[in-house]
A and B are shown apart, each in its own frame.
Chain A
Amino acid sequence: MKVNQELDRFVYSTSHNLRSPLMSVLGLINISRKEVQNKDCSRLLEYFDMMSTSIEKLDHTLKEIVDYSKNARQDVKIEKIDLQETLQICLDKLNYLEGAHEIKKEIIIDGGNIIFCDPDRLNVIFINVISNAIKYRDINKKNKIISITVHTYPFKTSITIQDNGVGIFPNYVDKVFDMFYRASDKSNGAGLGLYIVKETVDKLGGKISIDSEIETGTTVEIDIPFGGRSTK
């Protein structure tokens, strides 16, 4: 019964998040058609830009759903990982995001650069957390920074991703890992990003916590057991 209710909620919430940008595109097509019929094409380029934004939003939601499904279904696959290289690739991938170039990024690795973990899952964690740090940067701060610190120990890897962004209101912090929860209007996905991160960390047998203060920034701390398996 509970599973059915959760499935219902998942289906309706997902369909809403997919329909919403689609309906925006449809609305923009309707407006464009009327204006073309009235021989006014002056704003068409503006409408095309908005259609692109909506389609990118839809694509983002689809990617989140695929990440969620992959994590739920695929077995943990352990490989040798070069941390510096992996983190740099993630940062390069995210450089297209608005505002990414304004932010100083630092990577500090302590205790060894090589770990054994699931590379796809580690990427999902890094991409989601770092993209949030970029998206929720504080535009009023001159020196924006994302600091990624990794300590590798014999039995675990501890990752801290700290930013000096806008921060999260205290009453929302506990909810950010909930499925479909969005703490901000700036969120352009389905509210699955940090939920997927939490699920992914769980799958690796790890732990995640978040600490945030408004106007100061957010710190995400992740512990992953060596080899990405639970030590329990």
Chain B
Amino acid sequence: MNKNVLLVDDDMICNFITETTLNRLGIAKEVHSALNGQEALDLLNSYFLGDVSIPDIIFLDLNMPIMDGFQFIDAFKKLDFPKKEKILIVILTSSINPKDLEKAKSLGIDHYMTKPVNEEKVLALLKN
């Protein structure tokens, strides 16, 4: 499927698991990681500069230091970004707080997965 992927999680091991799983499925083309929302925004700015490819999918954790997942979504929405609406944001979290799911929905994020990343769910998501 050759997707460019951006992984945003302060847990590097989680980013590793997601990347390995996507590679196993043959989905990932170019994978970049950010340890918090601010780093992810900085990476998106470097996409503008053409340093790296624009991501097709962003796997986003919610609970992160410096800038959390919800703050990232707010900031992302304000970005003026070519083909921004084509980027799929998937929340990937350990949270079992139903309020997080509600908040994600209220921010217009429909794709919500609990960790660890699940091959079947990823495949189902990309088929749709």
Contacts and interface: CB of A to CB of B under 8 A. Distances in A.
Interface in B17-50: 17, 20-21, 24, 35-36
A31 B119 CA distance: 11
Q: Interface majority SS on B: helix, strand, loop or mixed? A: loop
Interface in A1-32: 12-13, 15-17, 19-24, 26-28, 30-31
Nearest to A20: B94
A23 B94 contact: yes
Given A20-B11, A24-B11, A24-B116, A183 B65 contact: yes
Interface in B73-112: 93-97, 99
Interface in A180-202: 182-185, 187, 191
A62 to B, nearest CB: 15
B13 A50 contact: yes
B108 to A, nearest CB: 23
Contacts of A54: 13
Interface string A17-52: 101111110111011001000000000000000100
A185 B20 contact: no
A178 to B, nearest CB: 12
A24 B9 CA distance: 12
Given A16-B63, A183-B66, A27 B115 contact: yes
B63 A184 contact: no
A28 B117 CA distance: 10
A53 interface: yes
B116 A185 contact: no
A29 to B, nearest CB: 9
A183 B21 CA distance: 29
A24 B14 contact: yes
Contacts of B16: 50
27 contacts: A12-B96, A16-B93, A16-B95, A19-B94, A19-B95, A19-B96, A19-B115, A20-B14, A20-B94, A21-B11, A22-B94, A23-B14, A23-B94, A23-B116, A24-B11, A27-B13, A27-B14, A27-B116, A28-B17, A31-B20, A34-B24, A54-B13, A183-B65, A185-B10, A185-B36, A185-B66, A191-B65
Interface of A: 12-13, 15-17, 19-24, 26-28, 30-31, 34, 50, 53-54, 182-185, 187, 191
Closest A-B pairs by Cβ, 9 of them: A27-B116, A27-B17, A182-B65, A23-B115, A20-B94, A12-B97, A19-B94, A185-B35, A24-B13
